[in-house]
A and B are shown apart, each in its own frame.
Chain A
Amino acid sequence: MNVTVKYFAVCHEMLDRSEEEMDLPEGATIKTILKRLEEEWPEIAEFYEVMQMSVNWEYATENTELSEGDEVALIPPVTGGFDV
């Protein structure tokens, strides 16, 4: 199955791309994507602890199962708004 994976902010910079299509086996979860990214760039694993993931605009976990056409995103710690 094919899913779209989006990368933002520090992830976008680390991987040098903002999104890509991934062909995944049936039954794949977000963890499947994380492992694949780790093979390409091992240091990214250090960020997994503080990073969140989403599927179709909703926060998800590593164990969330994926379906054809899903939009997955890696969400670094969010810092919108202001600082006061």
Chain B
Amino acid sequence: MFKITTEVITGAEVREAVEGPDAGAVVLFFGTVRNNTDGRAVRCLEYEAYPPMAEKKMAEIAQEISEKWGIPRVAMVHRVGKLEIGDVSVAVAVASPHRKDGFEACKYAMDRLKQIVPIWKREIWADGETEWVKPDAVFFDAPKPHKTDPQTD
């Protein structure tokens, strides 16, 4: 399951999407809307996505996980629209035979999501101002293999 949705994300749907008899662990991750950013009060967040490309990139991340850890089942769901404090914005589920690989793969899935999945976040501050979030320096400096020019490969 790779999905951009305007609906509330439930743990059950992402867990059910990955469960199977060969799993010894299901790692679930939820990203939730926090009430402040670096101490500045946040009223709510708005997420926007490019849904067909976002879902394609999520599927590619699952393929990378399958190749790295041999884990066959990953689910990723990201919500878009206006989200209130405490709402789940993103969920990742990974089913693996053993917990260590599951935890690592789940972290990898979130790191990659923040690098290559076209989703944008806008902060609506408590004072009414709004601002598109800029990624932190880590991701500006990170290598971007997907941006290599095919003519020079």
Closest chain-B Cβ to A63's Cβ sits at a distance in Å of 6
Known: A78-B119, A80-B78, A83-B34. A10 touches B149 (CB 8 A): no
Distance between Cα atoms of A83 and B116 in the complex (Å):
16
Within B112-137, which residues are at the interface with A (CB < 8 Å)? Answer: 113-122, 132-135
Distance between Cα atoms of A76 and B46 in the complex (Å):
16
Distance between Cα atoms of A75 and B49 in the complex (Å):
10
Measured between beta carbons, the chain B residues less than 8 angstroms from A50 are: 140
Decide yes or no whether B146 CB sits under 8 A from chain A: yes
0/1 interface trace, chain A 1-36, chain B, CB 8 Å (1 if under):
000001011101100000000000000000000000
Distance between Cα atoms of A77 and B129 in the complex (Å):
21
Decide yes or no whether A41 CB sits under 8 A from chain B: no
Task: Tally A-B pairs: CB < 8 A.
Answer: 92
Decide yes or no whether B56 CB sits under 8 A from chain A: yes
A–B pairs, 24, beta carbons within 8 Å: A8-B120, A9-B120, A10-B120, A12-B48, A13-B132, A54-B118, A57-B50, A58-B53, A59-B116, A59-B147, A63-B151, A73-B53, A75-B118, A77-B135, A78-B115, A79-B133, A80-B113, A80-B117, A80-B118, A80-B119, A80-B121, A82-B32, A82-B34, A82-B89
With A78-B135, A80-B49, A81-B114 given, name 20 new contacts (CB 8 A): A9-B120, A9-B122, A54-B50, A58-B56, A61-B147, A61-B149, A64-B150, A75-B118, A77-B140, A78-B114, A79-B114, A79-B120, A79-B132, A80-B54, A80-B113, A80-B114, A80-B118, A81-B119, A82-B31, A82-B89
